[in-house]
């Protein structure tokens, strides 16, 4: 149950904040920079698969190891590292394989992924810490 709590808070944090980022903050930039690559509509089932898998990765590789050491700093660091590596891999691959992929898009996206994943790992870590302190 306790890791379900970590997963739930991690996933909700990631999904809500990323939804605001993608759906409101960056919409105009994406339309300008990537309109020639964008689908007419988001494929929601595929997006759900991404969010489900990525949140599990954050819990497995960031929240759980940090919780074992009782270190929120480790959760933030591992989250940032996981986000940087994941988003960096995606963006560098896009730069290598897609015509006209904007370099600035990669800079923004990797920075965003690093910060968002760190924040999501912290959310999962603090939810897990709170839950275990209340329900030992």
- And the tokens for 109? 């996206």
pLDDT digits (tens, 9 = 90+) for 50-102: 999 999 999 999 999 999 999 999 999 999 999 999 999 999 999 999 999 99
Sequence ranges of the domains in the chain: 2-134
Quote the pTM value.
Answer: 0.95
Find the mean pLDDT for residues 102-114.
97
- And the tokens for 14? 């990631």
Q: Above 90 in pLDDT, residue 135?
A: no
Can you give the three-state secondary structure of the chain, one letter per residue?
CHHHHHHHHHHHHHHHHHHHHHHHHCHHHHHHHHCCCCCCCCCHHHHHHHHHHHHHHHHHHHHHHHHHCCCHHHHHHHHHHHHHHHHHHHHHHHHHHCCCCCHHHHHHHHHHHHHHHHHHHHHHHHHHHHHHHHCC
pLDDT digits (tens, 9 = 90+) for 42-58: 999 999 999 999 999 99
């Amino acid at each position: 149950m306790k890791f379900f709590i970590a997963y739930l808070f991690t996933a909700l944090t990631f999904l809500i904040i990323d939804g605001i980022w993608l759906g409101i903050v960056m919409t105009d930039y994406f339309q300008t920079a990537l309109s020639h690559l964008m689908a007419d509509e988001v494929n929601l089932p595929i997006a759900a698969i991404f969010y489900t898998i990525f949140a599990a990765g954050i819990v497995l590789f960031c929240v759980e190891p940090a919780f074992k050491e009782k270190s929120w700093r480790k959760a933030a660091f591992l989250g940032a590292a996981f986000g940087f590596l994941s988003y960096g891999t995606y963006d560098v691959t896009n730069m290598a394989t897609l015509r006209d992929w904007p370099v600035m898009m990669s800079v923004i996206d990797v920075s965003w992924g690093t910060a968002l994943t760190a924040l999501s790992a912290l959310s999962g870590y603090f939810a897990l810490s709170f839950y275990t302190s209340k329900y030992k």
